[in-house]
C-alpha cells in the first residue's frame, strides 16, 4: 500500500507540475499576446508621431516660404514706388530740358551783345534753374573733347578731325545730354571726328 500511496503521490506531483507548466505556458502566451499587442500599439504610435513630425516640418517649410515671399513682395513694391517717384520726376525734368536748352542758346547769343543787364538776367535765370535741377539729381554730360561713348553720346554726323588726336572723339556738341541719378535722361547729340 505504501507503494500505491507513493505512486499516487508521484502522480499527483506530476499532475501539479504539469498544471504549473500549463499555467506558466498560458501566462507566457498571455504575456506574449500582450507584448505583441503593445508592440503593435507602439509601432502605430511611432507611425503617428512620424506622420505628425513630417506634417509639422512641411507646415514650417510652407510658413517660411510664405514669409520669404511676403518679404520679397514688400521689398519689390517699395522699389516700385521709389521707381515711380523717380520716373515722375524724370518726366517733369525731361519736360524742362528744352527750356534749359533755350536759356543756353540765349546765353550764347548774348555773349557778343553789349547789353550787360540781359546777359546778367539770363545767366541768373539759367543758374537758378540748373541749380534746382541739379539738386534733383540732374547732371550735364560733358562731351566736347571726350572719347565717343555710345552709352552717353548719340552721333549725329562725322566730321574730319582737325588733328590726329581728335579722331574718335567728340568735336562738337549739337544738343547737350543729361543724366538723372546716374541714368541717361537724354543722350548728347554730337559730331564725331573721323
| Averaged pLDDT for residues 41-67 | 93
- 56 and 148 fall within a common domain: no
Q: Judge whether 66 lies within some domain.
A: yes
**Quick check: 190 pLDDT over 80?**
yes
- 94 and 157 fall within a common domain: no
| Averaged pLDDT for residues 7-35 | 73
Residue 192 φ/ψ, nearest 5 degrees: -105, 140
The span from the CA of 113 to the CA of 123, in Å, is: 13
- 15 and 88 fall within a common domain: yes
**Quick check: 1 pLDDT over 60?**
no
Q: In what order do the strands lie in the sheet with 177-180?
A: 138-141, 177-180, 183-186
Q: Judge whether 83 lies within some domain.
A: yes
Domain final position from 83, 99, 115: 99
- The parent domain of residue 3 ranges over 1-99
What pLDDT is attached to residue 19?
73
117 or 14, which is more confident? 117
29-33, 54-58, 86-90, 127-131: segment of lowest average pLDDT: 29-33
| Averaged pLDDT for residues 59-64 | 94
**Quick check: 67 pLDDT over 70?**
yes
Selection from 33-37, 87-91, 117-121 with the highest mean pLDDT: 117-121
| Averaged pLDDT for residues 64-87 | 90
| Averaged pLDDT for residues 24-33 | 71
**Quick check: 124 pLDDT over 90?**
yes
**Quick check: 79 pLDDT over 80?**
yes
Residue 116's pLDDT band (boundaries 50, 70, 90)? confident
Q: Judge whether 47 lies within some domain.
A: yes
- 86 and 153 fall within a common domain: no
The span from the CA of 10 to the CA of 28, in Å, is: 26
CA 118: distance to chain centroid?
53
What pLDDT is attached to residue 188?
92
Residue 2's pLDDT band (boundaries 50, 70, 90)? low
Mean per-residue pLDDT over the chain, rounded:
86
What pLDDT is attached to residue 112?
84
Nearest Cα neighbor of 129 from 102, 91, 110 is 102
- 16 and 81 fall within a common domain: yes
| 43 grid coordinates | 509601432
Q: Judge whether 117 lies within some domain.
A: no
Amino acid at each position: 500500500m505504501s507503494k500505491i500511496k507513493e505512486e499516487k503521490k508521484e502522480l499527483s506531483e506530476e499532475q501539479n507540475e504539469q498544471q504549473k507548466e500549463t499555467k506558466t505556458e498560458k501566462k507566457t502566451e498571455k504575456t506574449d499576446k500582450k507584448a505583441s499587442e503593445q508592440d503593435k500599439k507602439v509601432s502605430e504610435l511611432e507611425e503617428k508621431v512620424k506622420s505628425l513630425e513630417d506634417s509639422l516640418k512641411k507646415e514650417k517649410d510652407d510658413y517660411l516660404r510664405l514669409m520669404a515671399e511676403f518679404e520679397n513682395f514688400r521689398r519689390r513694391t517699395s522699389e516700385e514706388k521709389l521707381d515711380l517717384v523717380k520716373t515722375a520726376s524724370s518726366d517733369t525734368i525731361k519736360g524742362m530740358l528744352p527750356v534749359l536748352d533755350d536759356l543756353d542758346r540765349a546765353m550764347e547769343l548774348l555773349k557778343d551783345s553789349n547789353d550787360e543787364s540781359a546777359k546778367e538776367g539770363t545767366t541768373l535765370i539759367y543758374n537758378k534753374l540748373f541749380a534746382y535741377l541739379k539738386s534733383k539729381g540732374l547732371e550735364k554730360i560733358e562731351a566736347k573733347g571726350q572719347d565717343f561713348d555710345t552709352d552717353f553720346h548719340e552721333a549725329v554726323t562725322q566730321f574730319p578731325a582737325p588733328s590726329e588726336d581728335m579722331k574718335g572723339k567728340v568735336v562738337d556738341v549739337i544738343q547737350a545730354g543729361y543724366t538723372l541719378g546716374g541714368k541717361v535722361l537724354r543722350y548728347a547729340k554730337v559730331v564725331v571726328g573721323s
